[in-house]
Amino acid sequence: MSPSRRFFFFSIFLLTLYSCVNHSQRIPLKGKISEKAMVSSAHPLASAIGLEIMKKGGNAIDSAIATHFALSVVYPQAGNIGGGGFAVIRLDDGTIASLDFREKAPGLADRDMYLDANGRLNSKQWSTHGNLASGVPGAVDGMFQLHDKFGSLPMSELIQPSIDLAKNCYTLTALAADILNINQDEFQQQNRWSIPHLSDEPWQKGDTIQQPELARTLTRIQLQGRRGFYEGKTADQIVAEMKSGNGIITHSDLKNYKSIWRKPIIGHYRGHQIISMGPPSSGGVALMQLLRGTANYPIANWGHNSAKTIHLMTELERRVYADRATYLGDPDFVDIPIEQLLDSVYNQQRYDGISFDKATPSAVVSAGEIPPKESPETTHLSVVDDQGNAVSITTTLNSSFGSKVMVQGAGFFLNNEMDDFSSKPGSPNLYGLIGGEANAIAPNKRMLSSMTPTIVTYNDKLKMVLGTPGGSTIITSVYQTLLNVIDHGMGMQEAVNAKRVHHQWYPDEIRLETDALSNSTQAQLEALGHQLRMTDKIGRMNCILVLPDGRLEGGADPRGDNTALGY
Ligand code: DON
């Protein structure tokens, strides 16, 4: 069959799947169920590609890599080759691994690079917008490292479907059109030429986008491996892009980038083993601290989203996020007291002061309260194959479309991950998170993350794969979804659909999704002294649960276009 005919049949196949998916997402409390294998990601086309790879005999790692590349085409607000992330893996034989493919500060970065002459945060938003906001991307190296260690199909087969998608075109969902429309002004301001995501007319559901330059970049990666991105033409394009503005990423930054296999964070909760990501993500440590605190209390009896449960979670969260701000950063640059932070006595002492009669005010911090200003975007994908191997990957450009700069000629957006550093101690970042010395900017250092790709086992058998975007809310979304299944007895889709709340020490407020808490629960929490703030959607989980009979239930978040597909 000619390549164009093959693409035609593949597109029909994807479209067929897509219409089924939309239909199944309307079933409220039951997720996609499949017998053997499943992939859940932020976009139906990416999930379909990941599934197809497993049907062709690829394993969960192959599928996750193919899904990751596909997201860089069809989910450009967060799917990426210009960003970075973390992967947690558990093979059916019990092998556990975690890969850090987080971005790094460029070699020319400087701890005060976002401050003005008076030591104040520069008003030009350079840590979030434009070329100076970008860290050295880690995603492409990460995909090759994953593949070298665990992949089974040739890498070129995992990238080909994404090249086809970029070369031809993909169709926008209503949500995708909305998010492009919101970002049109920014695209115009940050780019000196037209990019495929700009349009004179508002984007609408059903419109298509073709990305020939991205197809060529992906083809270079396919043909030359990691050198197709970190050296040669793509590297030249990235460096030229940097030079055209105030960017500082150099050829040697790119050539020297390396993702790192890290020791996963492993803990236990009510008989389950929890495997998650360690520093430079704060996710795993914070999740384990929260679970340690929760294990002392019968929250199942107190009820899901009851005032007492939310009060406890809030009190735990404010203490854990305070620890995060003080102690966590890149382990290659700072000594992180991980063992102490996870120690049961330490946590017991931390939580001893919790009163059930009143909220503890968060410590007063000098900086003002700056709630998140723009729509954030990261994305998570979960995969289980027919052998029981599991992959949990969270990947990001940081905020939506990262720095909003598309590398001229190369067709991909660069991240604005530098904002995850603490640019100025005590000053909140995009997510209202404050930090200190441990997360100060330094050349070649990795910025602290909240990404929490997680895998749960029970009796040495895979039970759950989970994760989400959401900046600072990632940790608490994973925490709540885990509790929803383990304590509140929910199925996977129900646990994902359940309304979420969030507290992060500072600002000292509980953020809640609409209808998360009844009026009386809200009144009880306010009577305890909690500040409540309604917020937009929290998180977009992609999860998979192994049911007692061995089948798989997907939990694809209805807050996005998330889609679980399986066979
Ligand atoms: O690494 C982090 O914690 C952030 N850069 C994640 C950003 C994010 O989740 C935005 N998405 N909704």
Ligand 1 and 481: CB distance under 6 A: no
Residue 111 in tokens: 């701890």
Ligand 1 and 419: CB distance under 6 A: no
Q: State pLDDT tens for residues 154-194.
A: 999 999 999 999 999 999 999 999 999 999 999 999 998 89
> In the structure, what pLDDT confidence band is assigned to residue 18 with cuts at 50, 70 and 90?
very low
> In the structure, what pLDDT confidence band is assigned to residue 372 with cuts at 50, 70 and 90?
very low
Ligand 1 and 280: CB distance under 6 A: no
Ligand 1 and 372: CB distance under 6 A: no
Q: Which neighbouring-strand residues pair with 535?
A: 513
Neighbouring residues of 567: CB distance < 8 A, sequence distance ≥ 6: 34, 35, 36, 37, 51, 54, 55
Ligand 1 and 131: CB distance under 6 A: no
Distance 85 CA to ligand 1 centre (A): 9
Average pLDDT over residues 52-62: 98
Q: State pLDDT tens for residues 224-276.
A: 999 999 999 999 999 999 999 899 999 999 999 999 999 999 999 999 999 99
Percent of the chain at pLDDT > 90 equals: 83
**CA neighbor of 234 nearest in space, from 444, 411, 397:** 411
As a whole number of angstroms, the distance between CA 444 and CA 328 comes to 17
The atom number, within ligand 1, closest to the CA of 282 reads: 3
Ligand 1 and 470: CB distance under 6 A: yes
**CA neighbor of 366 nearest in space, from 280, 434, 319:** 434
Distance 393 CA to ligand 1 centre (A): 13
Ligand 1 atom 2, closest CA: 449
Q: Which amino acid is at 293?
A: G
Distance 379 CA to ligand 1 centre (A): 8
Average pLDDT over residues 70-74: 98
Pocket test of ligand 1: the residue of 321, 378, 423, 559 to mutate, having most ligand atoms within 8 Å of its CB, is 378
> In the structure, what pLDDT confidence band is assigned to residue 115 with cuts at 50, 70 and 90?
very high
Segment (H or E) for 540: none
> In the structure, what pLDDT confidence band is assigned to residue 302 with cuts at 50, 70 and 90?
very high
The phi, psi pair for 266, rounded to 5°, reads -125, 130
Residue 219 in tokens: 């083809």
Neighbouring residues of 439: CB distance < 8 A, sequence distance ≥ 6: 325, 328, 329, 330, 420, 421, 422, 447, 448
**CA neighbor of 512 nearest in space, from 494, 538, 540:** 538
Average pLDDT over residues 490-511: 96
Ligand 1 and 473: CB distance under 6 A: no
Distance 358 CA to ligand 1 centre (A): 31
Pocket test of ligand 1: the residue of 450, 473, 504 to mutate, having most ligand atoms within 8 Å of its CB, is 450
pLDDT value at residue 62: 98
Full 3-state SS string of 483-504: HHHHCCCCCHHHHHHCCCEECC
DSSP classification of residue 406:
B
Pocket test of ligand 1: the residue of 396, 504, 542 to mutate, having most ligand atoms within 8 Å of its CB, is 396
Query: How many CA atoms are closer than 13 Å to the CA of 181, on its beta-carbon side?
Result: 13
Ligand 1 and 450: CB distance under 6 A: yes
pLDDT value at residue 376: 59
Distance 541 CA to ligand 1 centre (A): 13
Distance 377 CA to ligand 1 centre (A): 6
Question: In the annotation, is 234 catalytic?
Answer: no
Cβ-contact 29, 493 below 8 angstroms: yes
Ligand 1 and 513: CB distance under 6 A: no
Pocket test of ligand 1: the residue of 420, 474, 537 to mutate, having most ligand atoms within 8 Å of its CB, is 474
Mean pLDDT, all residues of the chain: 92
> In the structure, what pLDDT confidence band is assigned to residue 435 with cuts at 50, 70 and 90?
confident
pLDDT value at residue 2: 42
Ligand 1 and 41: CB distance under 6 A: no
Q: State pLDDT tens for residues 348-371.
A: 888 888 899 989 888 532 222 223
* Total-model pTM: 0.92
Pocket test of ligand 1: the residue of 415, 417, 431 to mutate, having most ligand atoms within 8 Å of its CB, is 431
Ligand 1 and 469: CB distance under 6 A: yes
Q: State pLDDT tens for residues 269-286.
A: 999 999 999 999 999 999
Q: State pLDDT tens for residues 538-567.
A: 999 999 999 999 999 999 999 999 999 999
Distance 206 CA to ligand 1 centre (A): 28
As a whole number of angstroms, the distance between CA 542 and CA 68 comes to 13
The atom number, within ligand 1, closest to the CA of 470 reads: 12
Ligand 1 and 420: CB distance under 6 A: yes
pLDDT value at residue 281: 98
Q: Which amino acid is at 463?
A: K
pLDDT value at residue 134: 98
Average pLDDT over residues 50-75: 98
Neighbours of 373 (CB within 10 A): 11
Ligand 1 atom 10, closest CA: 377
Ligand 1 and 453: CB distance under 6 A: no
Cβ-contact 260, 280 below 8 angstroms: no
pLDDT value at residue 370: 26
The residue with greater pLDDT, 426 or 208, is 208
| Active-site option among 217, 234, 309, 378 | 378
As a whole number of angstroms, the distance between CA 293 and CA 131 comes to 41
pLDDT surpassing 80 at residue 8: no
Ligand 1 atom 1, closest CA: 449
Neighbouring residues of 550: CB distance < 8 A, sequence distance ≥ 6: none
Average pLDDT over residues 124-144: 95
The atom number, within ligand 1, closest to the CA of 102 reads: 1
pLDDT value at residue 7: 43
Distance 415 CA to ligand 1 centre (A): 11
Percent of the chain at pLDDT > 70 equals: 92
Ligand 1 atom 4, closest CA: 471
Ligand 1 atom 8, closest CA: 471
Distance 373 CA to ligand 1 centre (A): 14
DSSP classification of residue 133:
G
pLDDT surpassing 50 at residue 27: no
Distance 86 CA to ligand 1 centre (A): 11
As a whole number of angstroms, the distance between CA 399 and CA 378 comes to 7
**Both ends of the chain: CA-CA distance in Å?**
25
pLDDT value at residue 363: 58
> Is there a cis peptide before residue 507, judged by omega within 30 degrees of 0?
yes
Using DSSP, state whether 74 is helix, strand or coil: helix
Ligand 1 and 378: CB distance under 6 A: yes
